[in-house]
Amino acid sequence: MIASPFRMPGSVPANGVATWPKDVGIIAMEVYIPSQYVEQSELETFDGVDAGKYTIGLGQARMGFCTDREDINSLCLTVVQRLMERNCLSYDSIGRLEVGTETIIDKSKSVKTVLMQLFEESGNTDVEGIDTTNACYGGTAALFNAVNWVESSSWDGRYALVVSGDIAVYATGGARPTGGAGAVAMLVGPNAPLAFDRGLRGTHMQHAYDFYKPDMVSEYPVVDGKLSIQCYLSALDRCYAVYRNKINAQWQREGVDKRFNLEDFGYMIFHSPYCKLVQKSLARLLLNDFLSHPNPNTDSGLYSGLEAFRDVKAEDTYFDRDVEKAFLKASAQMFEQKTKASLLVSNQNGNMYTPSVYGCLASVLAQHTAQQLAGQRVGVFSYGSGFAATLYSIRITQDATPDSALEKLVASLSDLQARLDSRMKVSPAVFAENMKLREKTHHLANYVPQSSVEELFPGTWYLTRVDEKHRRQYSRRSLNDDAPLEAGLVTSTTTNEHIPSPAKKIPRMPATTAGPAVVSMTNGDH
């Protein structure tokens, strides 16, 4: 009998081997946080709540915010251009650009198309990708799309660029201190120092109205706080179970005789609506390990004294204070080692929505040396209300030598604490005035922003006006405060790319001298 030459689409020939680019993941990162913040302790007094409600109860110290000079377009313009400049990259080297955001200022036009103005000088319009939206999960979906593109037959050898950005604002009340704002940009390609573990994603998606934004003329969400916490924790349970099953199966195929548990993560980071929930989430994972362990030692070690909780059902414990207290205590040392460092940006700037978990990743990188990070596996839990969630893992390269990709990535984020410290503190009254101004004006046409440009960080893009057709125009503050910058031009004078393009002979833009005037940008005709 003659064997059929036909195979199922996508199947590998008998004599063939499936191949992918090696170690696809994050090569470079850039974080943008607004230049102003309010102290949460002062906000407690201003709001007339008990001392410690925001600082201890939520675990928040400061909250960054945007004036009417910044919107989602300007945040993303700023973080993309900073990443390109700091890494001396040509816009020609980008083949995919994808944005994750839930801050919608146009129901049709994507933020990505606004960002394409940065590419105009290079002439590169061959850039795939658009916006991805589902609450705080959009950045992760965009990142997965970028990784999948590099590993697919569609890849043309260039980098992918992923941008997560949001302005998290709430109406006056108990949810307001869980706000924040910012953006994170990530360069994706092969041979990355932060490589995605292939095949190790645990995802859970379900319908719920825990947090949503049905009012098209308001920036404020509708929030069911208790339901949101339950959705978050139930998603964490489900995703962790799926992840563990997949990695255990992978290890079994590889001949590794052990069961995965939380100790196998060098670091564990989470989407952070507020820091206290992250601490509870790590404890939650320990509870999952305990309940799934065939014979845990409750006499000594990690599970010491937890025998009373052996028969609890996870779904009955979302708001069980006894379980929470016991596992917070049991996981305290693990939290210090694996998760606490990730909360730098969350604690000092607040919830950034889609960039939140990637601000946590940047925080870990910023506070460790390349040698400390090398070889570690990072667990990442991303959650977006409505709801969508994934737990996946990243492997950090073993190569921590001087001038290695990991060393350069760590060095690029080493000033993160200094950037946080350089912001300007404002009073809660001034913060409240800014929130009222945004509330009244964020949706207006024929509007000129009222807030000062001088308080923005150098190199920040800002809104100059919204015309009568709702078309937005932007300019950029100079990096040096005295030499305006042109859109899309690399200002570094170095002739060497810090990160070579994965494709051969990709041209890079020449160094340039800034022109005499700021070039305006719009989200309409140009």
Tell me which residue of 450, 515, 449 sits closest to 478, measured CA to CA: 515
> CB 432: neighbour CB atoms within 10 A?
17
| CA dihedral over 16, 18, 23, 25, signed as positive or negative | positive
Q: Cα–Cα distance between 416 and 282 in angstroms, integer?
A: 24
486 counts as catalytic: no
| CA dihedral over 401, 403, 408, 411, signed as positive or negative | positive
Tell me which residue of 187, 183, 108, 114 sits closest to 146, measured CA to CA: 187
194 burial (CB, 10 Å; 0-12 / 13-18 / 19+) is buried
Q: Cα–Cα distance between 63 and 71 in angstroms, integer?
A: 17
136 counts as catalytic: yes
Exactly one of 66, 136, 231, 239 is catalytic; which is it?
A: 136
Q: What tokens does 253 get?
A: 């195929």
Q: Cα–Cα distance between 308 and 294 in angstroms, integer?
A: 16
Q: Is 228 labelled as part of a ligand binding site?
A: yes
360 counts as catalytic: no
Exactly one of 102, 231, 239, 442 is catalytic; which is it?
A: 102
Q: Is 469 labelled as part of a ligand binding site?
A: no
| CA dihedral over 271, 275, 276, 281, signed as positive or negative | positive
Q: What would the DSSP string read from start to end of 45-105?
A: HHHTPPTTTTTTSS---EEEE--TT--HHHHHHHHHHHHHHHTT--GGGEEEEEEE-S--S
Exactly one of 44, 88, 271, 360 is catalytic; which is it?
A: 271
Neighbour-count burial for 36-61, b at 16+ CB within 10 Å, e otherwise: bbbbbbbbbeebeeeeebbbeebbbb
Given phi > 0 = left and psi -120 to 50 = alpha, else beta, which region is 4? beta
> CB 213: neighbour CB atoms within 10 A?
16
Q: Cα–Cα distance between 201 and 194 in angstroms, integer?
A: 16
Reduced to 3 states, what is the DSSP secondary structure of residue 468?
coil
Tell me which residue of 20, 155, 120 sits closest to 501, measured CA to CA: 155
**Which regions of 252-339 does DSSP assign to beta strands (E)?**
267-270
Neighbour-count burial for 352-385, b at 16+ CB within 10 Å, e otherwise: bbbbbbbbbbbbbbbbbebeebbebbbbbbbbbb
Q: Is 213 labelled as part of a ligand binding site?
A: no
Torsion angle defined by CA atoms of residues 182, 188, 191 and 194, in that order, rounded to the nearest 10 degrees:
30
Q: Name the binding residues for CoA.
A: 228, 276, 280
Active site residues: 102, 136, 271
Q: Name the binding residues.
A: 228, 276, 280
